[in-house]
A and B are shown apart, each in its own frame.
Chain A
Amino acid sequence: NAGVTQTPKFRVLKTGQSMTLLCAQDMNHEYMYWYRQDPGMGLRLIHYSVGEGTTAKGEVPDGYNVSRLKKQNFLLGLESAAPSQTSVYFCASFQGNYGYTFGSGTRLTVV
């Protein structure tokens, strides 16, 4: 049982480049989330999904897009990366008891 898997684990992008972060969960959870973690800011919600085919904005959605074409996958896209998007990104899934299950994170650096 892998839980929540994030790929890639590390990535360096140049300003203006695009990329997609993949989150996969094998727990059949309906809810999935993307957070970013920055020093002194804790975890801030970027986008989330309450089921296959649905997405919604969180606290800091600007500069990001998401898609949930399959229940087990939640993709986070950066269309034109900026240095302000340098962060650690965490994906999580949730099914209504005991909170989220988190992935191990993706460390993204935009230069």
Chain B
Amino acid sequence: DQQVKQNSPSLSVQEGRISILNCDYTNSMFDYFLWYKKYPAEGPTFLISISSIKDKNEDGRFTVFLNKSAKHLSLHIVPSQPGDSAVYFCAGNNFNKFYFGSGTKLNVKP
């Protein structure tokens, strides 16, 4: 049973607009969460993280929001750029093991 779910396999956004990627989890023991970005034929690369004691973390164009009561997190990218087109994975950490969602493929159109 997947502990982390990304229910949208794909998302298409116009350049300059906001991209919102969503993630739900079931394990209340996760103590922090991360978002990874993956290009084809490459390994995932770390993007942004958030501790379970926070509800927001911001890094440049990327902001992650955490709603613990709903067991939901989201990644906002503003403004979206064509170079952001990639697969985005969210992951939850429990005892130094990360559990990943199935990914959302973001396509930012010029």
**Count of residues in A whose CB is under 8 Å from the partner chain:** 26
Segment with Cβ contacts to B, from A11-19, A71-79, A93-101: A93-101
Chain B interface helix/strand/loop/mixed: strand
B43 to A99, Cβ gap below 8 A? no
A2 at the interface (CB under 8 A from B): no
**Count of residues in B whose CB is under 8 Å from the partner chain:** 24
User: Whole-angstrom distance between the alpha carbons of A98 and B101 in the complex?
Assistant: 18
What residues of chain A have their CB less than 8 Å away from a CB belonging to chain B? 4, 31, 33, 35, 40-45, 48, 50, 58-59, 90, 92, 94, 96, 98-105
- Beyond contacts A40-B102, A44-B100, A99-B46: 10 other A-B pairs, Cβ-Cβ < 8 A, are A33-B97, A35-B100, A41-B102, A42-B4, A43-B100, A45-B98, A92-B43, A99-B91, A100-B46, A101-B46
